[in-house]
Amino acid sequence: METPAAYADLEKNPPETEVVGREVVIFDEIDSTNTYGLEHGTDGMVIVADRQTAGRGRQGRTWHSAAGLGLWFTVVFAGKGEGLPFAAPLAVRDALAERCELRIKWPNDLLCGDKKVCGILLERRNDITVVGIGLNVHHVPDDFPPELRDKAGSLESETGGRWDRCRILRDILTQLDGKVMLIHDQGIEPLRAPWVEACNLVGRRIQCGTHRGTVTDIDSHGAIILNTSGGVQTIYSGDITYLDGD
């Protein structure tokens, strides 16, 4: 199978990293890079596809993964993936920081302005954890299904510049590798603290599912501690809406 031209350079020049990208597998088309990683992954393997036919998002949703428009990839880690929920969004944010300012929306969406440009899906099976990253790069608004158009954006639609998917991928892999090595050496705290700060949630009024209230803390697992009229709730996953403005 021929490597999609967008990623050919990655095969010739693999990333200079410790763990992430030990092996890079590139597909023109696949059902889901996360599924491949869960079934065939080894520690540090990166799976990237130009198109996914069954890309998965959080909360059981579909992730639209058309050919030529975005960066759809998965990084595989042996073990339980401690700290990855913090490392992954910070790695994406930091990799792109020179050209655009991304905000992290709990738990790990990345927004450019008020548009979601990147989603992250962590999954675990047996002793493998996969970090699936979907980054909208070249989309114009019409490339998104109508119901997503006012919420989703791409790097190009939001910054007005041209972006190169292979370069972005290389930069994210390098950032993620650095953060994974930091966790290896120092544990999760050096990443948890900046992630909590980047989420900017403590003190805010939010709604998540049927729960409404004020965030009083984020615990060591990244869960929201929410003070509601019915008592304190711990929220591990879901989609939040800010009730006190964006």
Q: Which amino acid is at 37?
A: G
Q: Can you list the positions of beta strands (E) in 149-210? A: 205-208
14 binding ligand BTN? (CB under 6 A): no
57 binding ligand BTN? (CB under 6 A): yes
107 binding ligand BTN? (CB under 6 A): no
Alpha-carbon distance of 109 to 116, in angstroms, equals 7
Q: Which stretch binds ligand BTN (CB under 6 A): 58-66, 202-210, 214-222, 237-245?
A: 58-66
Q: How far is the CB of 93 from ligand BTN (least distance, A)?
A: 15
Sheet containing 240-242: give its strands across.
231-235, 224-228, 211-218, 205-208, 240-242
88 binding ligand BTN? (CB under 6 A): no
129 binding ligand BTN? (CB under 6 A): no
Q: Is the dihedral of CA 38, 76, 74, 185 positive or negative?
A: positive
Alpha-carbon distance of 119 to 121, in angstroms, equals 7
Q: Which stretch binds ligand BTN (CB under 6 A): 3-11, 86-94, 116-124, 155-163?
A: 116-124
Q: Is the dihedral of CA 146, 149, 151, 153 positive or negative?
A: positive
Q: What stretch of H or E contains 89?
A: helix 84-96
55 binding ligand BTN? (CB under 6 A): yes
Alpha-carbon distance of 134 to 143, in angstroms, equals 15
Tell me, residue by residue from 34 to 53, as one string, x for binding to ligand BTN by CB under 6 A and - for no binding.
x-----------------x-
Q: Which is nearer to ligand BTN, 65 or 174 (CB)?
A: 65
32 binding ligand BTN? (CB under 6 A): yes
Alpha-carbon distance of 184 to 45, in angstroms, equals 17
Q: How far is the CB of 31 from ligand BTN (least distance, A)?
A: 8
Burial of 149-176, coded b for 16+ CB within 10 Å and e otherwise, reads eeebbbbbbbbeeebebbebbbbbbbbb
**Binding-site size, ligand BTN (CB under 6 A):** 21
121 binding ligand BTN? (CB under 6 A): yes
Q: Which is nearer to ligand BTN, 95 or 213 (CB)?
A: 95
Q: How far is the CB of 62 from ligand BTN (least distance, A)?
A: 9
Residue 112 burial by Cβ neighbours in a 10 Å radius (0-12, 13-18, 19+): buried
136 binding ligand BTN? (CB under 6 A): no
Q: How far is the CB of 138 from ligand BTN (least distance, A)?
A: 15
Site residues (CB under 6 A) for ligand BTN? 32-34, 52, 55-58, 61, 63, 65, 72-74, 109, 119-121, 132-134
